[in-house]
Chains A and B, each alone.
Chain A
Amino acid sequence: MSRRRKVAIWLLVLGALHGIVVCAGFFAPYDPVEQDRKSPYLPPMRLHFVDAQKHLHLRPFVYLFQLRPGTFDQYLEDTAQPRPLKFFVPGDRYRLLGFLPARLHLFGADTERIYLVGTDAFGRDQLSRLLFGGQVSLLAGLLGAGFTLLIGWCIGAAAGYYGGWRDDLLMRVAELFLALPWLYLLFAIRAFLPLAVNPLQAFFLIVTVIAAVGWARPARLVRGVVLSAKERDFVRAARGFGASDLYLLRRHILPETSSVLLTQAAILIPQFVLAEMTLSFLGLGVPEPVPSWGNLLSNLQQYSVLVSYWWMYLPALIMVPFFLGYLGLASALQERAEPYKIQRRSLESLA
């Protein structure tokens, strides 16, 4: 399979995955912060096609739960109360893409709420929280990667193009940032920023911290490309004709860096999504009640949750397809660049 084809396929996969998260309002049955205090820690409801009388139904249905007699947190499926799944039902109001008011949901039930991935301590629908949480986490990763690449690009281009003491200074600072294990660096920078903030501030704080941590690697790579590009014959020729620095950079040198930037983006985005998750998981990121993939996992830090409510672990698995997609994209993008060599840049993404 050609490289172009592979890249296209991975982009398609990623596009579909992100599309689901972007349209979370439609795919999620309920509002992510709406509580159902009567059903805390409800296990996931299983989809059935065959009912108690062994009749086959084409429309999937779930059974409502009833408390196991004598307990207060054990649930049993109540086979007397099947609830068929309805598709394209009107429900909670939401704004598609942030501005289109809508009520249509992919699925739902007529009267009672149904929970396909269970509920959390407040009876909030985990599936809805997962999908809406993805919006926060993925956006943090994407914005973080965008800012990182922008900063790294500017610094790398400046260092590579002007050279001399500017290059030395910038690259020494970059080395400092690369010398730290990145999670420690992330922590250190987060440590010196305010702790108690509202969700929106926290979100931008995280994006800033991520960008501040990650710029050094792309900066070095861009510098390398610029260094070799500025000695190319056509660039020298253009300079001979009297082209200005800015023109040379814009027209001849920076376009050369695009493939490095693309590959870096595919490597950095999942890493930064993970950074957001780690911070939120540890309580340093986006706070409740706004869902994010990190803070959905954070109540796993309680032993009782860990022991009794296994479905609270499911949010950890949702990012696996996303990571797989980005990994595939990154390796497809790298394929042409250096076919069989061990890549310095993938080595560096380790540290």
Chain B
Amino acid sequence: MMRYLLRRLAHAFLLVIGVSILAFLFTTLAPGNYFDEMRLNPQIAPETLVALRAQYQLDRPLPLRYVSWLNSVLHGQMGFSFAYNSPVAPLLLVRAKNTLFLTVTATLLAWAIALPLGVWSAERIGRFPDRVISWSTAALLAIPDLALALGLLVLTVRTGWFPTGGMASVDFESLSSLNKIRDLALHMALPVTALVLSALPLLVRHVRAAVAEVLGAPFLLAAEGHGIPRRTLLYRYALPAAANPLVSLFGFSIGALLSGSLLIEVVMSWPGLGPFLLEAILARDIYVVIGGVLFSTVFLVAGNFLADLLLYWLDPRIRTERASR
């Protein structure tokens, strides 16, 4: 177990290092930098610009910059944001926390809906409810995230059911703790709905396919013959047998939801990584961009790692296979 874990960890670590190198390589392609716009300002002397570039080490060769950036990562800074005049890591952490909060909630909710719906649909495969679900997931699949998010936004703005934009009301600090939770939930409703709706159709389809494949198995027929109740049969016997592909899907779904949340955060002005990253791109604040990309990679890698662990725990075949190797 430990060896398997360590190998996965080492792999994940190398992946993150690779992504950081890739991100740095792309920075060499970047024409211009954060201080270029100041050249237009007649009140700033050219020497000042040269000095500024030297101060932020933008004039040094790439490998040196990478090494000094690695050094600052080790010191918990992840480079320096030009626009905020502060180390990147604390800035990113606040936003990453919000993104993580949104994504984790949406992931859990989407799976909580997809599992029963998929099982229910698989049990009635080919019959009317199953076909309704198939068609509605196909329709939902054809509506892209952007249209979904904007549609929800238009709807809410016109009806005023939920607050739009931001994560908290203006008077958030003065609310009692119960009202704080309520306020947060109301603000989350819209982005979470958009994320869940965009992730749901694929999850439902895969759960349905995986369970349907297992349902024909002889061991389930035997279990049914023993008089085991239908519900126990489905959730205690069929679902674990179908779990293997679904757990890998869980890892993938985290990546999909991260990508989805990037866009939805911008549309719904959720104070997460999305708007922050966009702002940094427009300002050429390169260390923030690199940091943001790296954070998202870490999330995704962590999600896949979690899925691997889950798989190891759920599927005895993998355990024996690894042990015998």
Contact = CB atoms under 8 A, between A and B. Distances in A.
Interface of A: 172, 175-176, 179-185, 187-195, 270, 274, 277-278, 281-284, 297, 300-301, 303, 306-307, 310, 313, 316-317, 319-321, 323-324, 327, 340-342, 346-348, 350-351
B157 to A, nearest CB: 5
B147 A350 contact: no
A351 B255 contact: yes
A340 B210 CA distance: 9
Chain B residues touching A, range = 35 or more
B258 A350 contact: no
Contacts of B277: 184, 187
Contact of B30 (A176, A193, A313): A193
A190 B281 contact: yes
Closest 5 interchain pairs by CB?
Answer: A351-B255, A316-B147, A183-B259, A192-B30, A191-B281
Contacts, number: 151
Nearest to B207: A342
Contacts of A274: 144-146
A192 B301 contact: no
17 contacts: A179-B19, A180-B19, A181-B297, A192-B286, A192-B289, A277-B146, A278-B263, A282-B278, A300-B153, A307-B157, A317-B147, A323-B141, A342-B210, A347-B245, A347-B249, A350-B253, A351-B255
Contact of B142 (A175, A324, A348, A350): A324
B47 to A, nearest CB: 26
Contacts of B202: 346, 350
B26 interface: yes
A45 to B, nearest CB: 20
A189 B26 contact: yes
B281 A284 contact: yes
B146 A316 contact: yes
B209 A340 contact: yes
Interface in B145-196: 145-147, 150-151, 153-154, 157-158
B252 interface: yes
Contacts of A185: 293
B38 interface: no
Contacts of B115: none
A193 B18 CA distance: 21
Given A176-B22, A327-B138, A350-B249, 7 more contacts: A184-B296, A188-B26, A188-B289, A191-B26, A284-B281, A320-B147, A347-B249
Contacts of B256: 181, 350-351
Nearest to A294: B146
